[in-house]
Amino acid sequence: MRIAVIGQSLFGQEVYKELRKDGHTIVGVFTIPDKDGKADPLATQAEKDGVPVFKFPRWRVKGQAIPEVVDQYTRTGAELNVLPFCSQFIPMEVINHPKHGSIIYHPSLLPRHRGASAINWTLIHGDKKGGFTVFWADDGLDTGPILLQRECDVEPNDTVNTIYKRFLFPEGVKGTVEAVKLIAEGNAPKITQPAEGATYECIQKKDNAKIDWNQSAEALHNWIRGNDKVPGAWAEVDGQQKVTFYGSSLVDNGAAARGQPLEIPGASRPAMVTKSGLVLFGNDGKSLLVKNLQFEDGKMIAAAQYFSSGSSAAVELTEEEQSFAEQMRAVWHSILSNASQIEDSTDFFKAGAASMDVVRLVEEVKLRASNCQLQNEDVYMNTTFQDFIQMCVRKLRGEDGEEELVVDYVEKNINHMTIRMPHQLFIDGEFVDAEGGKTYKTINPTDGLPICEVSLAQISDVDKAVAAAKEAFEDGEWGKMNPRDRGRLIYRSTDVEFMRQQYSHRSTLLLCCADLMEEHQEELATIEAIDSGAVYTLALKTHVGMSIQTFRYFAGWCDKIQGSTIPINQARPNRNLTFTKKEPIGVCAIVIPWNYPLMMLAWKTAACLAAGNTVVLKPAQVTPLTALKFAELAARAGLPKGVVNILPGSGALVGQRLSDHPHVRKLGFTGSTEIGKHIMKSCAVSVKKVSLELGGKSPLIIFSDCDMDKAVRMGMSSVFFNKGENCIAAGRLFVEETIHDQFVKKVVEEVKKMKIGDPLDRSTDHGPQNHKAHLEKLVEYCQTGVREGATLVCGGKQVQRAGFFFEPTVFTDVRDDMHIAREESFGPVMIISKFKSGEVDEVLRRANDTEYGLASGVFTRDISKALYVSEKLNAGTVFINTYNKTDVAAPFGGFKQSGFGKDLGHEALNEYLKTKAVTIEY
């Protein structure tokens, strides 16, 4: 078709380009005159392509068409007029001239929000649905028949800019081009707009964007975001100074906001300038947070800096930084062509720059200093050349005003040290209270007494954490980080100068986390002991020690993630090349158990972060404290806001919401098989990747030709390690009949030597079970074994003292059909069965006769027998003449109802990566 494009802006340019790609002939582009010597993007593109361009300042005067303008238009011979975001009034002589008439793009779901400020009013009215309409032009104001409509959800904190960029622009271009295709094919509908539901609101201008404070917080939020960025909602504050508000979001804990009060005439109460921004209050007592403020002189600041803006001293530039400044002076001059020269006091916007120039300036900076990642907001808040250079230099040095981490610690003097424990949720780089200030008590299993009150996450807290993680992944420093870049950031840890030179950004950040964990290892081990009951020495070596090793191991993988090149069938005479890319998934949820609170966090989080994802982690409700301490250390190590979020709370509420959340792309879970099945169902409904490390009933086969002393020592470790609260614990020992009695005798002798007691006592072998409910299950488990006729050799009872202690227990004469032979105890209970000499295949059948398949083991001096048994055992891990020997480089995960997916080792990265195939024809 022969098409005339009438409009302007990047939107018009993209529609124009797509129409040409579809084979249409653009007979003329009608746009606005140049502004400050710069052509509109649509005009620029058309002129480049040699398409006739007409730049009419107007089409009509006093309601009448200008004859010479109409004449120039009609000579193009257009068969259809396409008006993408046309801001001019086009006379009906032009609208009706082509044989196919004229179609117009409008950014609302007509008939709602007719008029020029449709996007603004969609947000101001708090519409849950937005979208656009392509309609046939008539002589009314957006009243013509509808050709095509598309809708989208309006996010709670959308602004005009975000909804336009996310949906109205990209999908609007596609929709307009699709509408033209329907016309060309003769399939375009003409649906009369209904009168019902039609609205028309005034054009939003600065004068009528003043804030009326006598409204609810939600209405205030909608008004501010509906006017953000243009024309900008404003009010008189602090002595009648006019201030414009940008970046609004609803908050739940504003009433408890700590900061400096700011008087706002007409508001129900003073606003609060906090470290997060400016907290405003509606007449309903609820609150909202504003991130940025702009004054009448055009200066924009972070709202958190209202009382301190302008107080920081200028930094003195090095020779290299001075060279960068002169490069940027030349860039400013090329953008501000009307300015004779660029002085330090030159104001970017007062010298004629527009919003598109901001985008260009940001990109120009990236070309000259890739490590200086600017946002558009940075330009708006530093409008003079001097302020702009100072801001860039501070970013280059890593000194760009990072906020101090505020932690409300619970302190305890214990284990010959003072431990300092965060107890609030950790969301978007801050420790915050849960919605409604809800808390619960975490209990010390050694004495059954509360340790402290911990914030109890609610569904809205989950949504905030996921939103923060999504923003960090999609728009933040972390998501934009090249995994191979080196030496760009400032880190807060030991030997950072060496690490900056040797390792990538992401590697260095993980190494810094590991360094700080090592620096605080005694504190972390102490917290682990009082929160989970782990014996301190074991917590120091394994719970904390392996966590540190895990972060160091995965730090090494950050810049080694790569795809492959694949030969594919050649479609002659063309040639083809296919390669794959391994890319991060996005927001990942991690749900971990209570037996190794810090180590399970490390196993999953380190791999997840190394792959480039962001994390929302729910620790077990009964053991949240080391996860919260890790959040503090990760923030101090320099992990950007939103990359790691920690939410103590219930599985039924927090875990379920993470399983269901549409923006969570992967969920990693370690816990019971029962809960794992439920999570898998939820993840199936929301179609997200999932990995599960679940229960176990791991068999350990001990042959008569074993090293008996080692078999006893490792057999006990296989069951009693970490109080039996170990997912790979040997749930059933099969001992060859000729050594059975000797083995049991030696085990019982050793069990009786074990010291049960305070996990902080260095001589303690066996600490308390993790929590009361688990202790009660262990008692019932052992009582069931006795009722079924198994021989209780020793133990089987709760220890009568404060706290949740249970005796190491040994059962013999256990038949295969017994409950204790088939179900996991997850406690210090050794289940021993005999097998006949020479019946290797029979004992293998019995060992594999379980729905679990997490781990297994065999003790024998016969290497052929050992390898045969290891081949036949149906488990994800097989130990030969050892047990519990996990390593950060070895993959860990099970088969059957013990789950799927791997932690640790190179394979763990695949759980947090997606594979993209790219095919090129050449």
| 580 shares a domain with 454 | yes
pLDDT of residue 257: 60
| Last residue in a domain, options 664, 679, 694 | 694
Instruction: State the residue range of the domain holding 481.
Output: 409-494+510-694
Residue 773 domain-assigned? yes
pLDDT of residue 311: 47
pLDDT of residue 500: 44
pLDDT digits (tens, 9 = 90+) for 878-890: 999 999 999 999 9
Token duo for residue 448: 């059954």
Contact 549, 607 (CB under 8 A): no
Residue 611 domain-assigned? yes
β-strand pairing of 449-455 with 439-444:
antiparallel
Q: Which of 488-495's residues contact partners 24+ apart within 8 Å by CB, and which partners?
A: 488/370, 488/371, 489/371, 489/398, 489/638, 490/397, 490/398, 490/399, 490/638, 491/637, 491/638, 492/636, 492/637, 492/638, 493/637, 493/638, 494/519
Average pLDDT over residues 861-876: 98
Q: CATH code at 341?
A: 1.10.1200.10
Residue 921 domain-assigned? no
672: annotated binding-site residue?
A: yes
594: annotated binding-site residue?
A: yes
Q: CATH code at 265?
A: 3.10.25.10
| Last residue in a domain, options 365, 397, 429 | 397
88: annotated binding-site residue?
A: yes
| 705 shares a domain with 834 | yes
| 303 shares a domain with 332 | no
Residue 244 domain-assigned? yes
655: annotated binding-site residue?
A: yes
Q: What is the DSSP letter of 347?
A: B
| 460 shares a domain with 381 | no
Q: Which stretch of 162-166, 502-506, 671-675, 816-820 has the lowest confidence by average pLDDT? A: 502-506
Amino acid at 35: K
Contact 282, 215 (CB under 8 A): yes
Compare 498 and 296 and report the one with higher pLDDT: 296
pLDDT of residue 482: 75
Question: Buried b / exposed e across 246-281, counting CB within 10 Å, b at 16+?
Answer: bbbbbbbbbeebebeebebeebebbbbbbebbbbbb
592: annotated binding-site residue?
A: yes
pLDDT of residue 491: 39
* 106 given a catalytic annotation: yes
| 348 shares a domain with 483 | no
| 445 shares a domain with 300 | no
319: annotated binding-site residue?
A: no
| 599 shares a domain with 461 | yes
pLDDT of residue 475: 80
| 216 shares a domain with 152 | no
45: annotated binding-site residue?
A: no
pLDDT of residue 100: 97
| 598 shares a domain with 549 | yes
Q: Which residues contact 817 (CB under 8 A, 6 or more apart)?
A: none
Residue 671 domain-assigned? yes
Confidence of residue 501 (pLDDT cuts 50, 70, 90): very low
Average pLDDT over residues 72-92: 94
| Last residue in a domain, options 255, 283, 308 | 308
pLDDT digits (tens, 9 = 90+) for 61-79: 988 999 999 999 999 999 9
593: annotated binding-site residue?
A: yes
Q: Which residues contact 48 (CB under 8 A, 6 or more apart)?
A: none
* 152 given a catalytic annotation: no
pLDDT of residue 259: 78
Would you call 889 exposed, middle or buried from its count of C-beta atoms within 10 A (0-12, 13-18, 19+)? Answer: exposed
502: annotated binding-site residue?
A: no
Average pLDDT over residues 634-646: 94
Token duo for residue 683: 């993840």
Among 727, 736, 771, 782, the one annotated catalytic = 727
| 414 shares a domain with 361 | no
pLDDT digits (tens, 9 = 90+) for 798-829: 999 899 999 999 999 999 999 999 999 999 99
Q: CATH code at 651?
A: 3.40.605.10
Among 106, 221, 423, 771, the one annotated catalytic = 106
Residue 644 domain-assigned? yes
pLDDT of residue 400: 56
pLDDT of residue 377: 72
Can you state the angle between helices 170-185 and 9-21, rounded to 10 degrees? 40
Amino acid at 883: Y
Mean pLDDT of the chain: 92
* 727 given a catalytic annotation: yes
Residue 906 domain-assigned? no
Res. 493: pLDDT tops 70: no
Contact 709, 719 (CB under 8 A): no
Res. 484: pLDDT tops 80: no
pLDDT digits (tens, 9 = 90+) for 758-776: 999 999 999 999 999 999 9
Q: CATH code at 818?
A: 3.40.309.10
652: annotated binding-site residue?
A: yes
Confidence of residue 241 (pLDDT cuts 50, 70, 90): confident
656: annotated binding-site residue?
A: yes
Count of alpha carbons within 13 angstroms of residue 234, beta-carbon side = 21
| 236 shares a domain with 223 | yes
Percent of the chain past pLDDT 90, that is, above it, reads 77
Angle at 543 between CA 542 and CA 548, to 5 degrees: 85
pLDDT of residue 571: 65
| 550 shares a domain with 419 | yes
Query: CA–CA separation, 133 vs 191, rounded Å?
Result: 11
Q: CATH code at 103?
A: 3.40.50.170
Contact 759, 723 (CB under 8 A): no
Note the helical H segments in 485-624. 496-502, 505-519, 521-532, 536-538, 545-555, 597-610
pTM: 0.63
Among 693, 725, 736, 911, the one annotated catalytic = 693
pLDDT of residue 252: 67
653: annotated binding-site residue?
A: yes
Count the domains in the chain: 5
464: annotated binding-site residue?
A: no
Q: Which stretch of 240-244, 722-726, 779-783 has the lowest confidence by average pLDDT? A: 240-244
Residue 256 domain-assigned? yes
